[in-house]
Structure 1
Amino acid sequence: MRKSYLAALCTALCVPGVANSSENFPLSYTSIGLEGSYVDSGNSDDKSTAKDNLDNYFEGGLNLTHQFNPNWSALLQGSYAEPETRTTNLDTELMRFSAGGRIHPAKFRLADWRPFGGLGYSYTDIEVDNGGDKTEDAIYLEGGFQRMLAPRFLFEAGIRARTELEDGYVDGQYFAGVHYLFNREYPKAPRPAAVTTSRPAVVAPPKDTDGDGVIDDLDKCPDTPQGALVDSDGCPKELTKEIRETLYVEFELDKTLVRRQFFPEIGELAKVMKQYPTSTILLEGHTDSTGSSSYNQKLSKSRADAVMKVLINEFGIDQSRITTSGMGESQPIASNESVDGRAKNRRVEAIVSGKYSEILKK
């Protein structure tokens, strides 16, 4: 029996078609799913009655689960099978109803698989063709692994050991199932931390502190920015111009993480903002059409907040100069019918605009 359990676990880890998933598990969700299983009927040692002596059989079930938080979930299951008796080959009908709880390690993963363990109760009604009838009460222990196939689909596989309370025999059950998720909740984007920036002191020549080419005794503007064009009094020459810079940052499906490949472009945008210290920026988050509109609205706002965090933490832009907005799926720039189009629509647009006084550089 132990060898069979180990073989079932290995099979669960090697199911074709799920090896390429990299989706994150929601914090909480409700799901409905279909389960198929094979029951190794341990009651074959009990030959007292036909209805106690079932052959091994396949069983199909309908599951309803609810994940309360990353650590705990509950399972309700109704299942049906048509096994035969082992010695008399009589047809039977088996209806089983189960309820149990599961525990999930919140952070532990095995190659993107999430393990779980569970404990529950089963009530079974067995009807035999010759008119016999029997009900059973049992408790079960289970263990297995789960993996996200897509944002709304979860695959699981594992084993159960079910102990009948009256006669004490144990059945082994190897199961696998697919679940559809709804009412999903994901982590909120972290709030940007307050950032203080300090600039190193400028080491300047003793008689020209700001390095503008005008000695301190004649300099009427001693704090001229380095590299600025100045007049004979040492004051910067300025001109007025209108600036508008646009940036696109694309995101992976259902993710808010800003990928490192976009940091140089965000850095160029931060450079423009530092050149124009009175400027402000608007960050607009967008999503593709995957998921509900209300969820996409929150996701787009979280993406804009994530870019804001990069501007603050990586490039020292003051938070008071940044405004974020979530546009959801309302403003696609490409078709949502293709993979490439949806990828382009998962983006944040950053716009710097306005009229500023610019100090002319040398």
Structure 2
Amino acid sequence: MGVSHWKGVVAVALMVPAAVLANENFPLSYSSVGIEGSYVDSGNSRNKGTVSDNLDNYGELGLNFTHQFNPNISMLLQGSYAEPETRTTGLDVDMMRFSLGGRVHPGKFRLGGWRPFGGLGYSYTDFDVDSTGASKTEDALYLEGGLQRMLSQRFLVEGGIRARTELEDGYVDGQYFAGVAFLFGREYPAAPKREVVLATKKEPKIEPPKDSDGDGVIDQLDKCPDTPQGALVDSDGCAKELTKDIRETLYVEFELDKTEVRKQFYPDIKKLADVMKQYPNSAILLEGHTDSTGSAGYNQELSKSRANAVMKVLINEFSISSDRINTTGMGESQPIASNGTAEGRMQNRRVEAIVSGQYSEIIKK
């Protein structure tokens, strides 16, 4: 196939009248297979001594596979074949080339319906001289630029130019190309939903404003859209809250002149610890007490020790932080029963625990 013939193929492909080309939109992503014809100007590599450096200008036929990942990025994989002649000796050469590259496309920019692109890639080329058996391989990088347009929903045409730089000798060849591709695996933007309005003689029904949570405040004005059912709300649709005090009391009794907390009171202490975990902002005051046996000074120290013993149980057994516990010794000053009987004195040997704090509770209608 002569050089003039290849120039004609490329020129015709690039000069297809715009009236013939359908103005189809490009898919968001797709894959394609196609063929490409090109004309290689190898004048820059003229007479450099090796097979590939001494080729005359030639035509090249390629098979392309492309994948468009998104409107801006695509990949090109190409295998091509040519039968050039050496420039000085006229020997026939078989050439196989394999190329892999990436392309960049402007998402919506067009030139008269054509989509421009630019690319960068790598080529591996094998040359074999028919008569001598000589061969050579080359590695090259290329830059390309061109235009694409949809012929229909399935076919695409493109044309452009590449500059290929051979990495070992550093010469640059120009390549003018044009091709056509068949598209498959196409993805398009979702079509916008269209509302169908049916003609009617009746007056349009006016829908009342929505009140999704049923609190009496419409959604457009509701700043708290998930109010619990039955809650009393303000004008913004937010539940009204009431601050309440936490009050829990515990009695732990002790044996005469003892500070050990008996196991039988552990369940009651655990209930108190559960309340403190439920209300993490609460605090506890442990008040130690004694009966009237012994001196007032001794009883004061004994009552403080009993309060500290209950504190250790809360910390070690139920993981309540010491920062939330206060203790005090009241001695024999606050009996709750008569010290004249054994039963009364037993009741007076005790620790009282008072949990205090505040929490907010939603007010119901």
Partners in 2 of 1:35 and 1:191 — Cα distance? 40
- Residue 48 of structure 1, CA deviation: 1.4
- AA matched with 1:21: A
Q: Deviations over 1:58-104 (max 9, x none)?
A: 00000000000000000000000000000000000000000000000
The reply on whether 1:78 has 2:79 as its aligned counterpart is yes
Contact 2:141–2:164 (8 Å) recurs in 1: yes
Corresponding position of 1:32: 33
Q: Deviations over 1:103-129 (max 9, x none)?
A: 000010111100000000000000012
Q: Identical aligned pairs, as a percentage?
A: 69
Partners in 1 of 2:200 and 2:10 — Cα distance? 56
Corresponding position of 2:160: 158
Corresponding position of 2:188: 186
The reply on whether 1:110 has 2:38 as its aligned counterpart is no
The reply on whether 1:126 has 2:127 as its aligned counterpart is yes
Corresponding position of 2:100: 99
Corresponding position of 2:314: none
Corresponding position of 1:87: 88
Contact 1:9–1:159 (8 Å) recurs in 2: no
- Between stretches 83-92 and 36-45, larger displacement belongs to 36-45
When residues 273 and 153 of structure 1 are mapped into structure 2, their CA distance, relative to the original with a 3 A threshold, is farther
Secondary structure of the residue aligned to 2:200 is helix
Partners in 1 of 2:129 and 2:193 — Cα distance? 63
- Residue 28 of structure 1, CA deviation: 0.1
Partners in 2 of 1:27 and 1:165 — Cα distance? 35
Q: Deviations over 1:119-155 (max 9, x none)?
A: 0000000001211100000000000000000100000
Partners in 2 of 1:155 and 1:97 — Cα distance? 21
| Structure 2 residues not aligned, in runs of 5+ | 1-8, 207-365
Contact 2:46–2:53 (8 Å) recurs in 1: no
Contact 1:51–1:126 (8 Å) recurs in 2: yes
Q: Deviations over 1:230-277 (max 9, x none)?
A: xxxxxxxxxxxxxxxxxxxxxxxxxxxxxxxxxxxx8xx644275575
Q: Deviations over 1:200-254 (max 9, x none)?
A: xxxxxxxxxxxxxxxxxxxxxxxxxxxxxxxxxxxxxxxxxxxxxxxxxxxxxxx
Corresponding position of 2:48: 47
- Structure 1 segments, 4+ long, off by >4 Å, are 8-13, 273-278
When residues 66 and 20 of structure 1 are mapped into structure 2, their CA distance, relative to the original with a 3 A threshold, is closer
Contact 1:44–1:86 (8 Å) recurs in 2: no
When residues 125 and 43 of structure 1 are mapped into structure 2, their CA distance, relative to the original with a 3 A threshold, is farther
Determine which of 168, 171, 175 is the counterpart of 2:170. 168
Contact 1:18–1:149 (8 Å) recurs in 2: no
- 1:332-343 matches, within 5 Å, as none
Contact 1:34–1:63 (8 Å) recurs in 2: yes
- Between stretches 17-26 and 32-41, larger displacement belongs to 17-26
The reply on whether 1:66 has 2:70 as its aligned counterpart is no
Corresponding position of 2:16: 15
- AA matched with 1:169: Y
Contact 2:51–2:136 (8 Å) recurs in 1: no
TM-score by length of 2: 0.50
Partners in 2 of 1:18 and 1:178 — Cα distance? 17
- Residue 19 of structure 1, CA deviation: 4.2
Secondary structure of the residue aligned to 2:27 is coil
Q: Deviations over 1:154-212 (max 9, x none)?
A: 0000000000000011110000000000000000123579xxxxxxxxxxxxxxxxxxx
- Residue 17 of structure 1, CA deviation: 6.6
When residues 124 and 191 of structure 1 are mapped into structure 2, their CA distance, relative to the original with a 3 A threshold, is same
Q: CA RMSD in A?
A: 2.6
- 1:238-249 matches, within 5 Å, as none
Corresponding position of 1:143: 145
Partners in 1 of 2:112 and 2:85 — Cα distance? 40
Corresponding position of 2:58: 57
Partners in 2 of 1:61 and 1:12 — Cα distance? 15
- AA matched with 1:140: Y
- Residue 11 of structure 1, CA deviation: 7.5
User: How many residue pairs align between the two structures?
Assistant: 197
Contact 1:139–1:164 (8 Å) recurs in 2: yes
Contact 1:12–1:145 (8 Å) recurs in 2: no
The reply on whether 1:272 has 2:200 as its aligned counterpart is yes
Partners in 2 of 1:273 and 1:134 — Cα distance? 84
- Residue 33 of structure 1, CA deviation: 0.3
TM-score by length of 1: 0.51
